[in-house]
Amino acid sequence: MKQIGAILIMLLVAASASANMRVEFVPGEIIVKFKPAVIEAEPEVEYAQPNYIYRTMAVPNDPLASQQWAVQNTGQTIVTPATGFTAPDSVANPGTLSADMNLTQAWDIHHDCGSIIVAVLDTGINYNHEDLSANMWTGGPSCTPECRASCTGINGDNCVDNTKTPMDDNGHGTHVAGIIGAVGNNNKGTTGICWSTQLMAVKVMDNTGAGTTANIVKGIDFAIANSANVINMSLGYYTYDATLYTALSNANSAGIAVVAAAGNDTNDNDSTPFYPCDYGLPNIVCVAALDQTFNLATFSNYGQSSVTLGAPGVNIVSTWAGTETVATDQLTGGWIPAQTGNWSYEPLSAYQNGSLVSLNALVDPPNYDGVAALYNLSADDQAYKYFAGAAGASVLLQLQYFMFLNTPDLMNISYVVGKANPFVQYGGPWVAGGAVQLDSVTGSSSSNAVNATYDITPQCTDTPWCSIGFALESGTGPASFGVAIISFKIDSLDNTVTNAYNLEEGTSMAAPQVAGIIALVMAANPNYTAQQAINAVVYGGVPNANLTQVTTSGNSANALGALTYISPPTGLVIKQN
């Protein structure tokens, strides 16, 4: 019997792929080819080889992939992915060829993180987004809620408003989620570092991007209880928080890698600690932001002993929670009862961006000039206005005020859901009942300013109308110069739109780059501990001279390096004869 081709021999012994996974073959199988004209009794082998596994070359077909310079930097100029969204940063745009994380090469090795759960502690995620829905975590009936009565079927938990799902009403969380795990090669939008994964939406911040200790800790507890492998925390603050430290220590004990943003204030975190980065726990990776030349971004915090490594964080294109609408009030009419309640409209001059401009303003007293005119004593002057409610609504407010600190004088800013058609008056937030105080400001006889954003989502989302009101309240004296509201806007997010993409920058965008690579390493090495995956990412990074003195590793994140990193052997003893 002649053997004229190759045959497949099934071996009983197990084989294993090489440590760096660059060569893969089927365990227990070898292909053998016999030499021509060899009779069965005298077999001679021409060659024998493993049964290799071939993979498609991983270049995704997603239309915005060419704008993802962190994936592949061709020196391209990054532009806004759609009208009405953030304009690109002009610094180092276009970038430098090959200043990227070698993701296309890494994807030739591995791009599936479907076994890994990444908890995104943020403003929520638009879990209906076309590029995210297939990669959302579904805890099923076994999920353990922390903030809601149930987490079944909602892709996570909402610790800001436990009556609602973790839907994003800001955009930040959806952007972060897309960097980690936008569906790859689906011919839609962008590509996540993980083409497939399990994104756990944990809403711990409101639509202004603010979150409390209590809510963030509940979010960490939720991630622990539901077996998250990685937690991304694109958030931070400059105050040590013992409660948060304890929660993150619990995450360390549970074997969860935590990736945190270094901060965006150009500070040295060694001298001005920024948390959670500076807690010093072994499971926390602190990430600085790099621009398109792989230099430290102009805004990024740093720290030779507190910031771990750098990753792309400038001009990052990713998924967005919906479309935004900004309604600007002209402050020339419509406030009730502005002209009978001692509030009025007044053109004022003010400096903006170094130039003197004329602005319309809503003022009390009516002849406000910030110099001589005084507000009334024993006053409760109210002005309010109805607005259409919207999802993710927030008030953007600028005002200046003169108050006396030594009297009960204050400026009260409140809102409430309108109880009927806006043309039917209910006396504003205070008479209507159920008013929510957004802020209360006072000060001294000198000028003070407020430039703030207030979340009005909790009551204004599920109603067609809500009212916003101001009340100047004063005591028996003395009086000062009053209040001038010089800018009033309502920003609303329509998160029923599920195909929006935006461009953002910050260490908030750098952190999920690293979280995604950690997930990639964990998926490719199922037996790795969190610490082993962290080490692969940190020490598998590429040395970057720009980071030598400002991070602990001096490295830039590199997906290929992380996947091919081999931990050095330990416990070896060199003996000399």
Question: Is the omega angle on the peptide bond into residue 347 within 30 degrees of 0, that is, cis?
Answer: no
Compute the distance between CA of residue 549 and CA of residue 571 in angstroms, rounded to an integer. Answer: 30
The pLDDT assigned to 403 comes to: 65
| Architecture of the structural domain at 65-322+498-564 | 3-Layer(aba) Sandwich (3.40)
CATH number for the domain formed by residue range(s) 325-494? 2.60.120.260
The pLDDT assigned to 1 comes to: 36
The pLDDT assigned to 445 comes to: 46
Predicted model pTM? 0.82
Phi and psi angles of residue 152, each rounded to the nearest 5 degrees, phi first: -65, 125
The pLDDT assigned to 47 comes to: 79
Compute the distance between CA of residue 235 and CA of residue 308 in angstroms, rounded to an integer. Answer: 16
At position 496, the amino acid (one-letter code) is T
Phi and psi angles of residue 160, each rounded to the nearest 5 degrees, phi first: -90, -45
Compute the distance between CA of residue 353 and CA of residue 358 in angstroms, rounded to an integer. Answer: 13
Closest residue by Cα to residue 134 from 201, 181, 85: 181
Compute the distance between CA of residue 212 and CA of residue 236 in angstroms, rounded to an integer. Answer: 11
The pLDDT assigned to 438 comes to: 77
Compute the distance between CA of residue 129 and CA of residue 131 in angstroms, rounded to an integer. Answer: 5
Phi and psi angles of residue 499, each rounded to the nearest 5 degrees, phi first: -135, 35
Compute the distance between CA of residue 161 and CA of residue 206 in angstroms, rounded to an integer. Answer: 9
The pLDDT assigned to 420 comes to: 42
Query: What are the tokens at 61?
Result: 């077909």
Phi and psi angles of residue 388, each rounded to the nearest 5 degrees, phi first: -70, 130
- CA 199 to each of CA 120, 135, 196, 294: distance values in angstroms, whole numbers, following the listed order: 7, 6, 9, 28
Is the CB of residue 73 less than 8 Å from the CB of residue 101?
no
The pLDDT assigned to 390 comes to: 64
**DSSP strand pairing (196-203 vs 112-122):** parallel
Query: What are the tokens at 499?
Result: 């195909």
State the 10-residue block means of pLDDT for the chain, 577 residues long.
Answer: 44 34 66 69 73 66 95 95 87 95 95 97 97 95 93 94 92 97 96 98 93 96 98 96 97 98 97 97 98 97 98 97 88 77 84 76 87 84 76 75 63 57 50 67 64 74 71 81 85 89 97 98 96 97 96 98 81 60
- DSSP assignment of 313-363: -SSEEEE-SSEEEEEEE-SSS--BTTTTTT-EEEEEEEEETTEEEEEEEEE
DSSP 547: G
Q: How many helices (H) and strands (E) does the chain have?
A: 9, 24
Domain boundaries, the chain: 6-52, 65-322+498-564, 325-494
Compute the distance between CA of residue 519 and CA of residue 135 in angstroms, rounded to an integer. Answer: 13
The pLDDT assigned to 3 comes to: 40
